[in-house]
Structure 1
């Protein structure tokens, strides 16, 4: 059976790198995005230029009906979806917890956690033995991201719990669920938080002495989805340079 994967939030950063890598490995790839259509089309064009199978589809994966539509469209164009990467995630401007509004906190959790829940649930209902889910968590789930992104860290901690619980639920069906926890990676998300150069500022705290690249995280995701990781489920793999 062909391998087909949905990658949420795949128009840039880790999601885009993962889409290109999995396409090169023979997966049919559904590039999900919410509003960055131009970026998604560039990822799609790069994959097709390299001979890969791919499609791009706008959907807000924090909305139940949109998730159903995403899976149905991917299956109609690519064939049965066999793999899922829950990569979509946002953060807001750096702030201590006491200054975080309820609206912001709920928005972060809805975007990051509800999307993971909805897409994972849809995958669990559809996948057959041999399917796999990988959740893109964060090292912030361990550190708590004090004075910067406690709400983001909390959302990633929730994703870790979803990973562990769902892995145990789906193991008897032969479906694996894991997560990667990137550390300080050179992506545009840091600009969203108000500090584009954050990785360089904190690089000295990383034992390997540098920030990571999106492709390095994509390699870990690809391994966890692959048959090479056939005995790995319920694992949280840090890709953080020792941070």
Structure 2
């Protein structure tokens, strides 16, 4: 497929899990993909190599989110390898240690918001002057912000709720430029973020939450992002798209 031929994409947290699947799918559709990573350089290189082995184009971009000047660091690295942007996918995030409100420390709260909320806000802010008219912004959210309360994920859900607001505000602001902005909201997805948790009774219970009878896989999310990155989604903006396999039904 060459639906994104000639376009440049940046996927934050693109070295592993959902981010890797998104980067690979966008590359298969013809985009040249910047694969951002925070700490795992080897994983980023593996993702770039996999894309190139499949005939695509990619490059790695390093910036540790949560550190001072993280967004500026990211774009400085990006600018050395690309001359503009067409697709921005704000995917990078951390779950943190599951805890209900009474057990959340100030340090844990600050870390989650620094990575999941502040970083994508300023990555987007600085990215807007690089994003070409007709571009795409896709924020990776969570089903936990809409009717699926899990008290042990309160800080994670709150941090992603801010991205829901960012989506609607930017969709209104950037519409005149032909830029669409949408949120993709996964449910539980089998990635290394959940390593050791999706086994036995826990896996059976989580699978039972979806009418499909399983948990998600990264490609389930990546394929939805690919639609939103394409011209086929030109009349879709400001939307929160449930990609949880019907868990919220």
Q: TM-score range by the shorter chain?
A: over 0.9
Partner Cα distance (2:52, 2:118) in 1: 31
| Residue 82, structure 1, aligned to residue 91, structure 2 | no
Could you say which residue in structure 2 is the equivalent of 1:209?
213
3-state DSSP of counterpart to 1:210: coil
Most deviating of 222-231 and 70-79: 70-79
> Residue 197 of structure 2 is aligned with which of 195, 198, 204?
195
Report how many residues are paired.
241
Structure 1 residues 74 and 113: CA distance shift in structure 2, 3 A: same
| Residue 162, structure 1, aligned to residue 171, structure 2 | no
Could you say which residue in structure 2 is the equivalent of 1:135?
139
The answer (yes or no) to whether the contact 1:28–1:78 under 8 Å persists in 2 is no
Partner Cα distance (2:70, 2:154) in 1: 28
Structure 1 residues 84 and 136: CA distance shift in structure 2, 3 A: same
Q: Deviations over 1:162-187 (max 9, x none)?
A: 11111111111211111100011111
Could you say which residue in structure 1 is the equivalent of 2:19?
15
Taking the TM superposition and a 5 Å limit, the aligned residue runs for 1:22-101 are: 22-63=26-67, 65-101=69-105
Q: TM-score normalized by structure 2?
A: 0.91
Partner Cα distance (1:187, 1:143) in 2: 23
Identify, as 1 or 2, the structure richer in helix.
1
Q: TM-score normalized by structure 1?
A: 0.93
Q: Deviations over 1:72-92 (max 9, x none)?
A: 432432331111000001012
- Cα deviation, residue 196, structure 1: 4.1
Structure 1 residues 119 and 137: CA distance shift in structure 2, 3 A: same
- Cα deviation, residue 63, structure 1: 4.8
The answer (yes or no) to whether the contact 1:139–1:182 under 8 Å persists in 2 is yes
Partner Cα distance (2:122, 2:67) in 1: 8
Runs of 4+ in structure 1 over 6 Å off? none
Unaligned stretches of 5+ in structure 1? Answer: none
- Cα deviation, residue 144, structure 1: 5.6
- Cα deviation, residue 153, structure 1: 0.6
Structure 1 residues 164 and 62: CA distance shift in structure 2, 3 A: farther
> Residue 224 of structure 2 is aligned with which of 220, 223, 241?
220
3-state DSSP of counterpart to 1:113: helix
3-state DSSP of counterpart to 2:129: helix
Unaligned stretches of 5+ in structure 2? Answer: none
Partner Cα distance (2:39, 2:105) in 1: 24
Partner Cα distance (2:152, 2:203) in 1: 13
Partner Cα distance (2:25, 2:98) in 1: 31
> Residue 187 of structure 2 is aligned with which of 183, 187, 196?
183
- Cα deviation, residue 116, structure 1: 1.3
